[in-house]
Amino acid sequence: MTATTTGTLRLGTRASRLATTQSRTVADAITAAGGVPVELVPISTEGDRSSAAIAQLGGTGVFVAAIRQALLEGTVDVAVHSYKDLPTLPEPGLTIAAIPPREDPRDALVARDGLTLGELPSGSRVGTGAPRRVAQLRALGLGLEVVPIRGNVDTRLARVVPGDLDAVVLARAGLSRLGRLSAVTETLDPLQVLPAPAQGALAVECRSHDERTRQLLAALDDAGTRACVVAERTTLAALEAGCSAPVAAYAELAEGEDGPEMFLRASVTALDGSDGVRGSITGPPPEAERLGRELAAELLDRGAAELMAASR
């Protein structure tokens, strides 16, 4: 079956509950915008098949390579990714045709007994699979034991009650999409834990030469989200870091005296939490790439490359 003969778009997605929920939301939006039926096509990725840490698997791209290959081969017409999982380099032959409005990009704590991060006793076991979170949690100096974990959202939540951990830290966006916000005991302030570049955003990808699909997807694109994601991911790319590096970046839009303004923050933290650099920059949203490059250059001048090298 092909989209050209049936009119149905085939959407490639990871098979997890979160991935299919995200993809179904995009599929419904495509149908609502263009009247085109969409069929979900589950695809198993290297990251899904292995229980090893992401860094051991090679980090960037382990959740997207198989889906992108299916897209290039014509097995599917559209792919939906958690944008933070994508490598920073573009994939030849493919284009990010839409970035829908993103969910709250902050991290969330799910702790026993309704505790917040500051209320967890010293020595509490906190689970997370992201080096960025590991580094920033250790840097807070709260005496927490940070435990590496893998698995889907439900698997991670089950490690808290009645499991072996006192808390886990997850992306708030995923919990929101799964209807699990009631489990959150604290949404973490970016001043404490800065989110991953593009966290909470979805990337809707298609073949570059597929003009029909590109036009369909264009209706889903949100200009403000795209500007923020471009700034955050340009920072990541300019630091020459991947999604498994202890790098954080978060852009917000606000109304300034001369129109919309972007406030971009980024940080690089040593994996043991002993050191880190953090900076910020403000400018107009259309200059998102420049802002990302300039902020990355500032962090590199202040020792970011050495911190990342030490964390490998």
Q: Any residues with CB less than 8 A from the CB of 113 and at least 6 apart, and which?
A: none
Token pair recorded at residue 99: 């970035």
Catalytic residue among 28, 48, 77, 85: 85
Known catalytic residue: 28? no
Helix extents (H) in the chain: 3-6, 17-34, 46-49, 54-57, 65-73, 131-139, 153-158, 172-177, 211-218, 223-238, 288-301, 304-310
Q: How far is the C-alpha of 18 from the C-alpha of 135, rounded, in Å?
A: 25
CA distances from 285 to 207, 253, 256 (A): 27, 8, 11
CA distances from 7 to 76, 125, 220, 250 (A): 13, 51, 19, 39
Catalytic machinery residues: 85
